[in-house]
Structure 1
Amino acid sequence: MKKFFLFFLVVFVTSMSAFSQDTLIRLNDERIICKIQKEDAAAVHFTLYKNGKKFDTFLDKSEIKSIIYGNSASMQSSNFDKVSLGAGLGMDFGGLGLNLLVYPQRNIGLFGGVGYAFAGTGYNIGAKIRFVSENTKSKATFYGLAMYGYNAAISVTNATEFNKLFYGPTVGFGFDYKSHPSKKSYWTFAILLPIRSTAVDDYINDLKDHHSIEFKNALMPIGITMGYRIILN
């Protein structure tokens, strides 16, 4: 009876261990059956059993396509977007336009945007640094950005010859919101701080003093971005 109980206990523990195993799926679709111990911003640390031996190792998140936790059918993607195309409103979208974003490295992205900026065609190119959460279930990813391009637009009604775009640096911060980790699209929001030269105020004053143009709206000291991005890769 005692031997039977010990045998049953071993089988039970082994079954429970197998039941709670996790699965890592690499970019080449190779599956690694393991037990995940922890995750950090760069890698997944796990325990692997081979030929009756235990190995503690890790795998860079850049090499992982997705993760299946335990026996759950839900799949958490740990492979953040590398290339995405967005449409939205904001200086990083060139005004009202499109923005292409490429991440050559997990946390650092390069982007270019072009669109309609009310006084003409606007553009911006820049870099984005995202702060990836260690919590793979997090829906928001915060980021900072810096760019160069149009950061002020002067539009004169019924006198388009005075329309003018000004160019300079802009910095900002925001967050991306994805409702589900496996979703292939997400929203992006940001607050932008344009660093404008004195040429902008000089031009406005010149239009007021020498062309009798009245301005009903002053330039906003900050800008807001709102867009929707489609993940291409």
Structure 2
Amino acid sequence: MPYGGYGGRITFNPASQLALFGGVGYNLVGAGYNAGMQYLVSSKKQTEFFLTAMYGYNSVIKISGADTYNDSYNGFSAGAGVRVNSNRKKGVFWDFGVLIPARSSEFQDDWDSLKKNPYIESLNKPLPVLIFAGFNFPISTM
């Protein structure tokens, strides 16, 4: 989700341990976006632990064969993860993390309505914790 779904993000580092980011991507029903921050708890190591918080899309409803129900929902999400830095090139790293989404009441209302709909045969319950991974490379190393 920090990458807007299947997408990318741009990050600005105002301080060595703080990153501000914006992500845009495809979230299975359309364009998804997120903006937020990451705080590196440990710095200058091969593997670093971080905390993250963001606002943007954090839930999607996609019903096969019934596109009128498909929608994307925004809200706050927070989590933690691990950054694995490259030994060869500064600024190249992998992010792996988990997020806890605060799903909107609009999402919950739509979800509850779908559960009661006799024409919807099966629904996958939304996961309480979301997992993300991303590969990062520098555009600029000012």
Normalised by the length of structure 2, the TM-score is 0.89
The residue number in structure 2 matching 1:142 is 49
Given that 1:139 and 1:181 are in contact with CA atoms closer than 8 Å, whether structure 2 keeps it comes out as no
Given that 2:61 and 2:70 are in contact with CA atoms closer than 8 Å, whether structure 1 keeps it comes out as yes
SS in 2 for 1:212: coil
Q: CA deviation at 1:181?
A: 6.2
Distance across 1 between alignment mates of 2:102 and 2:91: 34
1:215 and 1:120, CA in 2 relative to 1: closer, same or farther beyond 3 A? Answer: farther
Long gaps (5+) in structure 1: 1-90
Q: Does residue 80 of structure 2 align to residue 170 of structure 1? A: no
The residue number in structure 1 matching 2:125 is 218
Q: How many residues align?
A: 140
Distance across 1 between alignment mates of 2:132 and 2:11: 15
Percent sequence identity over aligned pairs? 34
**Alignment-mate amino acid for residue 119 of structure 1:** V
Deviations 1:106-144 (A, max 9, x none): 1111100011111221110011111233xx5x3111111
Long gaps (5+) in structure 2: none
**Alignment-mate amino acid for residue 104 of structure 1:** P
Q: Does residue 32 of structure 2 align to residue 122 of structure 1? A: yes
SS in 2 for 1:169: strand
SS in 2 for 1:199: helix
Q: CA deviation at 1:198?
A: 3.2
Instruction: Point out which structure has higher relative CO (alpha carbons under 8 A, 6+ apart).
Output: 2
Distance across 2 between alignment mates of 1:123 and 1:144: 19
The residue number in structure 2 matching 1:100 is 10
Q: CA deviation at 1:158?
A: 1.1
Q: RMSD in angstroms over aligned alpha carbons?
A: 1.7
Distance across 1 between alignment mates of 2:70 and 2:119: 15
Structure ID, larger Rg: 1
SS in 2 for 1:231: coil
**Alignment-mate amino acid for residue 131 of structure 1:** V
Structure with more helix by fraction = 1
